[in-house]
Amino acid sequence: MKYSGAIGVFDSGVGGLSVLQHIRRLLPDERLIYIADSAHVPYGDKSPEYILQRAQILTRFLVEQGADAIVIACNTATAAAVACLRNQFSVPIVGMEPAVKPAVAATKTGVVGVLATIGTLESARFAALLERYGEEVEIVTQGCPGLVEQVESGELSSDRTRKLIENYTSPLLERGADTLILGCTHYPFLSPLIREVVGNNVVIVDTGEAVARQLQRRIKSELPVREAQLAIAQHECKENAHTKFFTSAEPAKAKSIMSVLWGESIQVNLLPNEFL
């Protein structure tokens, strides 16, 4: 029996690699397929209808490539598309949302700051999170135009990136926030710089690890036959696990930045024309 399943992961760009890293660590034997939709980045300033259309296109590609579980490694795309994708596709679909619950548990001042895209902050899903936890603590939000683009261009520690982080975090710190939620999957790649700017007394929360654990739970509970097939395939072929990378933008440029973020040199393929 040869196993052909895979986990498909997509994001508006390279930021979802932060989630993919957690998935690879937790599920090292899995085949992974990643799409950086960088020709359409950022999603945060696009309409919900546009984002949904891209999410449907990318999910269809991943399913055609053999993915039997999907991770939307993008808070904005989750808000715009996860409900429709779950109705449209029969595979388990795991989305993102800002980690408000652990942040509420972590704060000592009772003030939690959220760094996110405008699209995430304006979504109904985020409004529901605020309603659920807003009575327990004060949640202060900050849209961060430009940060996604800085990560996409590989400017993880430039003066411009530092200035943007200073501008976006200072209002939150002034309000008393001692806990910051990274509400976009691009932002964990800026964690070292954010830490330099805000200091060591602020808790920084990102959701990549929790998403990987939720994916693992969904696979075990909803795809038991797949689990058995994977075990047999790994017994037959120790080299079964691998990761394929795709982009909707220029592959050579994507390879440069994605290799840095992934931590090793990788091959990045251009999506077929019908999925661009």
Residue 223 — very low, low, confident or very high, per pLDDT cuts 50/70/90? confident
Judge contact between 151 and 190, C-beta under 8 A: yes
Judge contact between 218 and 231, C-beta under 8 A: no
Mean pLDDT of 152-172: 97
Please pick, among 84, 144, 184, 237, the residue that the annotation labels catalytic.
Answer: 184
To the query of whether residue 144 is one of the catalytic residues in this protein, the response is: no
List C-alpha distances in Å: 176 to 133, 169, 229: 17, 11, 51
pLDDT, tens digit (0-9, with 9 covering 90-100), for 257-274: 999 999 999 999 999 999
How confident is the model at residue 4, as a pLDDT? 60
Judge contact between 57 and 275, C-beta under 8 A: yes
Residue 135 — very low, low, confident or very high, per pLDDT cuts 50/70/90? confident
pTM assigned to the model: 0.92
Residue 2 — very low, low, confident or very high, per pLDDT cuts 50/70/90? very low
pLDDT over threshold 50, residue 23: yes
Tokens of 175: 């309000």
**Which has more confidence, 8 or 227?**
8
To the query of whether residue 184 is one of the catalytic residues in this protein, the response is: yes
pLDDT, tens digit (0-9, with 9 covering 90-100), for 71-114: 999 999 999 999 999 999 999 999 998 899 999 999 999 999 99
272 sits in which H/E element:
none
How confident is the model at residue 29, as a pLDDT? 86
Q: What CATH number belongs to 6-96+208-275?
A: 3.40.50.1860
Topology agreement, domain 6-96+208-275 and domain 100-205: yes
225: left (phi over 0), alpha (psi -120 to 50) or beta: alpha
Q: How far apart are the first and last CA of the chain?
A: 34
Domain covering 100-205 assigned CATH 3.30.450.20 in the classification: no
What residue spans define the domains of the chain?
6-96+208-275, 100-205
Please pick, among 74, 84, 144, 237, the residue that the annotation labels catalytic.
Answer: 74
How confident is the model at residue 1, as a pLDDT? 35
